[in-house]
Amino acid sequence: MNNSFKNFQEKRMVIFGELVKRYWNGNLNSADDLNVLAREIKERYDFKDEDMTFIMDHIRVAMGLDPSGRHEFDDELNIIKNSREIGKPVIAKIAGACEYCEEEDCTCVESCKYEAHIYKRTTGPEIVDNNCVSCGKCVTNCNFGALADKIEFMPVIDLLKDKETPVYATVAPAIAGQFGDNVSMGQLRSALKLMGFKDMIEVALFADILTIREAFEFTHLVKKEKDFFLTSCCCPIWFNMTKKAHQDLFSHMSPSVSPMIASGRILKELYPNAKVVFIAPCIAKKNEAKESELKGSIDFVLNFRELKEIFTALDIHLSDLPGDDKDQASLGGRLYARTGGVSFSVKTVVNRLEPTRLIKLRSKKVDGVKGCKKVLDDLSVGEDINANFIEGMGCEGGCVGGPRTNIETQKATKAVNDFAEESLIMTPFDNLNVMKILKQLGIESIEQIIENEKLIKLLTRE
């Protein structure tokens, strides 16, 4: 066993942190500089000479590039400087690690909780791509670095240093509590603005807009006891599972985009020259941003674990910063981060729209890939699940249980609940920020949210 490969998830973040520090400070300008970094990583972790290609490929993936298998750097930095997007595939397979993985330690076979089974190979893992729902479990379960998701921050550094380009950070509701017990969202906003972001905006604000839209959709589509509605709002894993394996149910799925996509589309409508970076708890959002019908809405996606490493690399201490607090989203919008949050939020608006409605919203909340698969299978065979609003989230606990969070799920859920309760806005219907955005888009009444052609285009999948 070559112990240099063990615990590679942590070593990968060290590689990324060194890249950020050197590129940000102007000390990464040539292939020779990348070679120096590769040699330092080799010596720090006692890798062998024959492992250099493995190290170099991890440096490439941490830059947002595909692994090449080459034992030398060439034009990687030029590619990054001229890059305006990170291409597919999101998850890269890197040769050189599997041969050191002993059978009893290998988690590849059992890591996928759906149907994209991963099998151990001496040359690297193989993934059944047409079944993959991008949950990211295979990446986080591989402790030897044979699988890695591309990191999308190197091109963002150049954008942040370009004073002519406004760059907005939109943050997932699950971000509450992820950077320390005593770190406020206002301090997080201050840190991002210190880095050069124009502002930090809660994606929960756009969840409020989509909540109102889905409430209208529910009232229009669920008229009889046997009618039901699948929300697509949050989770690309849930959406992909339905689309790929349950086409019979797809007509019941809301056509709405996710709050992430809505945030990018609306911000770019209001600020045409802006770039938008989404900060997420998961890997699936990287893939969602690159889907053909959604591409261009979000420019780059970072996750919480990567952002934590960025703050460390740039010597930014969140707890020392002043708080720049803004109340942007409702309690309901912020609760999208955990299981049941979407159902709760939509129900509050349905009850406001039709307080005397005979067919009440009865929700079914499922989380985890296995739970999502079971409820879809049950619906497909006509099983009575005693619900007409079905909310699925691919990670256990919801987004707070994502594979790239910094704290454990139970603690994250409490942090989200506490932050939601701090909101002065009780429901999406009461959010004046929503009305302000709608008026900027030429919408004068809440009912026009499902009638205005411009907004329909912004909030709907093609």
Give the pLDDT confidence of 231-253 residue by residue, as tens digits. Answer: 867 899 999 999 888 989 988 99
Last residue of a domain, one of 320, 353, 368: 320
Instruction: Number of helices (H) and strands (E) in the chain: give both, helices first.
Output: 19, 11
User: 342 versus 93: which is more confidently predicted?
Assistant: 342
Rounded distance between C-alpha atoms, residue 260 and residue 278, angstroms: 7
Residues 121 and 69 reside in one and the same domain:
yes
Q: Which two tokens stand for residue 168?
A: 């907005």
Q: Taking residues 202-210, what's their average pLDDT?
A: 97
Residues 94 and 17 reside in one and the same domain:
yes
The CATH number covering residue 292 comes to 3.40.50.1780
Rounded distance between C-alpha atoms, residue 111 and residue 73, angstroms: 32
pLDDT at residue 108 is higher than 90: no
Q: DSSP assignment, residue 390?
A: E
Q: Give the β-pairing of 167-171 and 199-202.
A: parallel
Q: Taking a C-beta distance cutoff of 8 angstroms, is the pair 269, 441 a contact? A: yes
- Structural domain span for residue 194: 159-202+261-320
Residues 383 and 308 reside in one and the same domain:
no
pLDDT at residue 128 is higher than 80: no
In the prediction, which pLDDT does 6 show? 80
In the prediction, which pLDDT does 145 show? 86
pLDDT at residue 129 is higher than 70: no
Residues 106 and 185 reside in one and the same domain:
no
Strand partners, 254: none
Residues 164 and 234 reside in one and the same domain:
no
Phi-psi region of 75 (alpha: psi -120 to 50; beta: other; left: phi over 0): alpha
Q: Taking residues 338-352, what's their average pLDDT?
A: 96
Burial of 351 from C-beta contacts in 10 A (0-12 / 13-18 / 19+): middle
Three-state SS at 169: strand
Total domains present in the chain = 3
User: 123 versus 171: which is more confidently predicted?
Assistant: 171
- Mean pLDDT, the chain, as a whole number? 91
Residues 167 and 139 reside in one and the same domain:
no
In the prediction, which pLDDT does 406 show? 97
Residues 273 and 369 reside in one and the same domain:
no
Write out pLDDT tens, residues 216-230: 999 999 999 999 999
DSSP string covering 244-271: HH-GGGGGGB--BPPHHHHHHHHHHHHS
* pLDDT classification of 10: cutoffs 50, 70, 90: very high
Rounded distance between C-alpha atoms, residue 444 and residue 438, angstroms: 7
HSE value, Cβ hemisphere, 13 Å, CA-based, for 362: 15
Residues 111 and 31 reside in one and the same domain:
yes
The C-alpha angle 137, 9, 415, rounded to 5 degrees, equals: 65
Matching residue, tokens 């009232």: 219
In the prediction, which pLDDT does 96 show? 81
Rounded percentage of the chain residues whose pLDDT exceeds 70: 93
Q: Taking residues 151-162, what's their average pLDDT?
A: 97
pLDDT at residue 120 is higher than 50: no
Residues 131 and 183 reside in one and the same domain:
no
Give the total residue count for the chain.
Answer: 462
* pLDDT classification of 119: cutoffs 50, 70, 90: very low
The CATH number covering residue 227 comes to 3.40.950.10
Last residue of a domain, one of 271, 302, 320: 320
Q: Taking residues 70-93, what's their average pLDDT?
A: 92
Residues 373 and 434 reside in one and the same domain:
yes
What are the backbone angles phi and psi of residue 148, rounded to the nearest 5°?
Answer: -155, 140
Element spanning 306, H or E: helix 304-313
Amino acid identity of 251? S
Rounded distance between C-alpha atoms, residue 342 and residue 106, angstroms: 36
Question: End-to-end alpha-carbon separation of the chain, Å?
Answer: 50
Q: Which of 47, 36, 49, 35 is nearest to 11 (CA)?
A: 47
Q: List the single range of 139-143, 235-239, 322-326 with lowest mean pLDDT.
A: 139-143
In the prediction, which pLDDT does 131 show? 66
pLDDT at residue 436 is higher than 50: yes
Strand partners, 91: 149
Last residue of a domain, one of 297, 320, 343: 320
Rounded percentage of the chain residues whose pLDDT exceeds 90: 79
Residues 140 and 226 reside in one and the same domain:
no
pLDDT at residue 14 is higher than 50: yes
Write out pLDDT tens, residues 448-462: 888 899 999 999 987
Residues 425 and 305 reside in one and the same domain:
no
